[in-house]
Structure 1
């Protein structure tokens, strides 16, 4: 079809079709991956982008990953001139200094889509791989000081050139992983997702014509921009500053400036880059984009057009703009702290606009070693769920991933026990105090992993381990995130960040995630709500009397 059909109904059909295609790419990858972090936890994302690399449509998955893919395409285009990109090419990048954006565990794959010799789109995905080498199993070390220590670096290279597989790159990837079979399976699952996306985009172009397809994408971008600017017009203009102490005692700072045309986020006055707690400039933009969208118009299209009024200012060499060869293994904790700080700043300057604080950490938990039944190396990579903050009229939600982490799931106990060398002794809501208010914060969780073999390892990276989620409008602060290792000899040791800690048969790894902050004066909580909390064991009689003045 070559006729131009520029009408709103056709545009709407194409725009919705693109969302459906991105979702189909997502589930094709989910159903064919080998690692539970992908097929159970859904630690991945997919997008369709225009030829310039702006996001046109996104599939399900982690919101913070969706924003990676346009920046990854920018990294590819910076390295490869358009005349060097051909039909059948497939690119791979995991290096934050070459468009990888996050850390080395997250592999981006992208492919151009050509129609009649002309590029009409990109299809792309990103997923977390359990092990990409480096100095510790799982490839995430809190002790890393340079990216060289964190694993194999893939700096935006071609996996396929004009449809021909580059066997050398495949071999290099596999030989650098402690889990080569899983890596290879996850890699081909990602390729399958791209091929599904390419096929569906070409079917859409064939049906409506390349000109109509391109016009529909442009129209969708413009809709996103109109929605953002309409929301911006409703925010009082001015400058708003905020500072927040972190677990380590350092203070992170932000200045928000709202003008008639821009929403400016200035992060220049922040700590110097340090260890593995850094993120790329592009990663900082993603955290800001998510907070901006949450605050302005959560229901608008999350495409490239929506973020045109947003401006992010950073200083090279800081935690929000790491310079090479800085490490980025725990980049997500830097970004989630930024995302949370921005929401807290908005809550302070625009009361009632966002809920109380949530547990706000990925709580990445890596456990592995020799499998007790087979002797084969295993690694479980498990982000954790926790408590969300309360809001006026509503208790917080319990046992959910943070808003930054988004539409993902915990790995079911049955799957974890079948695939990994661990026993799951307990999965329960966190009964610790914290987060009380007229509306209470959601409950975190308490999970017990039983180690079934000697010489296993534990690596974790939890923030909000000292500074709890903040209460709002008189509500109390929530509780903190931590891991406690209960040794078989009866001793216990507590951790927030640790790398390659030895755990042995019979040890219990006790994961505790925070309760969200409360909202409103606790003295105003209804008697019925207090009694329900007591019945569900979210509250002890002693705490009920102390906080609510309630006598059992």
Structure 2
């Protein structure tokens, strides 16, 4: 599709920004028309534009773990439906075998047809995290799941809109009826909110289609598609130059790193760079086997983490797209936790194991110290099947909690930020307390939790919530037994900790004169679900991050000002995804 004379640099920049603006506009539409706290307030969603072959063309700076995986989802649906797609069709999927990351992340895919033609010229897609899609626990992120059937509704392919007709009956069957067939599992506990948000995703995709047609009208289809491929080729060239430079600076074309999950499972990586071609093989041989729990990561998640790291290490303002992966050959051992079996539990692999993959890749490339390595997934809610198997209406809430970002050669880490593959907000306290029966007692920086060194690791946070009604509360977290590593002599960050502050009541046996606080502090570990009573509290202390370099004598930790390299998601700012990984400092 490329012109033999090469792209015009001005038009290349123009089209890159036009394509990114399509994804941004989709994101604004989704935020404005959704109703759930998770999508409207926390901004746990992504929108992107894809080529006719399913490759990622452009995106706004949404959730990195979504964006790399969504291409797998688009390509899967293309193979499944082929040329049978028609104007007015919209597809829905969330299964890991269909390019999904974990089940709460539901992808809506819409083909874009050329005017007055049956030719597909683009795809628009949006992926949103829905707070409850069924499963064994409210929030659909059960820390105790051992198979995918316990994690909620799994959808390989569903035509949610067929020729312009919304299939509400089919949606209820997939989201409510099918998940409840499995022992101990319930269907979606609040289908009305989920249905409304899915319609918002459909509308966002349609907004993208309108803007693509406007671009085609301005420049013509041939020019638009030509520059779509030029943008991808530009990203490929940039990554090839990066790999050549890395090998030159390292003095070797072989890089390696290993890190471990809290259960001891290794994630191992060996990178072999071809300095002549600027290509590389990333081999994850030596990674641990599939685990019984939910830390298994689908291969789409592995690719997401890798493409994010490549884009993050590029010091250029270009869209994250499929070209970043062209020079890379990613090898994933079968039967490992990075290539699990069809029915393996995966809800933690998307949010936790992905963070460790990023740490390992950046460690191999000697880019920066470890960030918090966790997303600290908190869920709570009510409803589902009771002890007699009867379904009760209910609700679920989900949030991820910030920690420290890793330091590097020339910058301190940042305190209290969402790092790497997650880029969501925390729920505003006013909204949280108004919509849910909870009180937020404490939310602030966990001072001193970042590693010390020449360049200090960012501090984690403390978040303490009191529950005003009895409800099921679950935490799914990592870095509770292993510290985020420092590099070049820098110290490691502190591990996280989850504490149940249990209110003592008459008959508990521990309510005596020696207990002045009237509570018990119970460390519930990194992965736990607890039925908390009225007045019980949960204190989550998130990990700090690793430092870079040996501390200079007499150095002071806080003699600097943090500057975020990526603006908050609230503005859906136009920033390169690369900057999400790194922060700088002004002395």
Structure-1-length-normalised TM-score:
0.89
Match of 2:398 among 372, 381, 385: 381
Which string of whole-angstrom CA distances, capped at 9 and with x for unpartnered residues, describes residues 326-383 of structure 1? Answer: 1111122111111112212222xxxxxx23221111111112237xxxx973322010
Q: Quote the Cα distance in structure 2 between the aligned partners of 1:387 and 1:433.
A: 8
> Superposed, which structure 2 residues align to 1:508-547 within 5 Å?
508-526=537-555, 529=558
Deviation at 1:244, TM superposition (A): 2.3
> Superposed, which structure 2 residues align to 1:463-542 within 5 Å?
463-489=478-504, 490-526=519-555, 529=558
Q: 2:332 — aligned with what?
A: 314
Structure 1 vs Structure 2 CA RMSD = 2.2
Q: 2:162 — aligned with what?
A: 161
Match of 1:399 among 412, 416, 421: 416
Q: Quote the Cα distance in structure 1 between the aligned partners of 2:164 and 2:395.
A: 33
Deviation at 1:528, TM superposition (A): 8.4
Q: Work out whether residues 190 and 393 of structure 2, in 8 Å CA contact, stay in contact via their aligned partners in 1.
A: no
Q: Quote the Cα distance in structure 2 between the aligned partners of 1:303 and 1:288.
A: 12
Q: Quote the Cα distance in structure 1 between the aligned partners of 2:15 and 2:560.
A: 52
Cα distance change of structure 1 residues 528 and 289 upon mapping to structure 2, 3 Å threshold:
closer
Q: SS of the residue aligned with 1:491? A: strand
Q: 1:78 — aligned with what?
A: 79
Are residue 452 (structure 1) and residue 451 (structure 2) matched? no
Deviation at 1:480, TM superposition (A): 1.0
Q: 2:198 — aligned with what?
A: 187
Cα distance change of structure 1 residues 458 and 127 upon mapping to structure 2, 3 Å threshold:
same
Q: SS of the residue aligned with 1:468? A: coil
Q: Work out whether residues 59 and 319 of structure 2, in 8 Å CA contact, stay in contact via their aligned partners in 1.
A: no
Q: 2:51 — aligned with what?
A: 50
Q: Work out whether residues 46 and 60 of structure 1, in 8 Å CA contact, stay in contact via their aligned partners in 2.
A: no
Cα distance change of structure 1 residues 197 and 526 upon mapping to structure 2, 3 Å threshold:
same
Structure-2-length-normalised TM-score:
0.83
Q: Work out whether residues 132 and 173 of structure 1, in 8 Å CA contact, stay in contact via their aligned partners in 2.
A: no
Q: 1:252 — aligned with what?
A: 267
> Superposed, which structure 2 residues align to 1:292-303 within 5 Å?
292-297=310-315, 299-303=317-321
Structure 2: where are the runs of 5+ without partners?
177-186, 384-391, 505-518, 563-587
Are residue 435 (structure 1) and residue 451 (structure 2) matched? yes
Deviation at 1:250, TM superposition (A): 3.1
Q: Work out whether residues 379 and 420 of structure 1, in 8 Å CA contact, stay in contact via their aligned partners in 2.
A: no
> Superposed, which structure 2 residues align to 1:186-225 within 5 Å?
186-225=197-236
Q: Quote the Cα distance in structure 2 between the aligned partners of 1:439 and 1:393.
A: 7
Are residue 278 (structure 1) and residue 289 (structure 2) matched? no
Cα distance change of structure 1 residues 301 and 532 upon mapping to structure 2, 3 Å threshold:
closer
Deviation at 1:527, TM superposition (A): 5.0
Number of aligned residues: 515
Cα distance change of structure 1 residues 434 and 304 upon mapping to structure 2, 3 Å threshold:
closer
Are residue 366 (structure 1) and residue 379 (structure 2) matched? yes
Deviation at 1:146, TM superposition (A): 1.6
Q: 1:127 — aligned with what?
A: 128
Q: SS of the residue aligned with 1:241? A: strand
Which structure's relative contact order is higher, taking Cα pairs within 8 Å and 6+ residues apart? 2
Q: Quote the Cα distance in structure 2 between the aligned partners of 1:250 and 1:48.
A: 36
Q: Work out whether residues 76 and 99 of structure 1, in 8 Å CA contact, stay in contact via their aligned partners in 2.
A: no
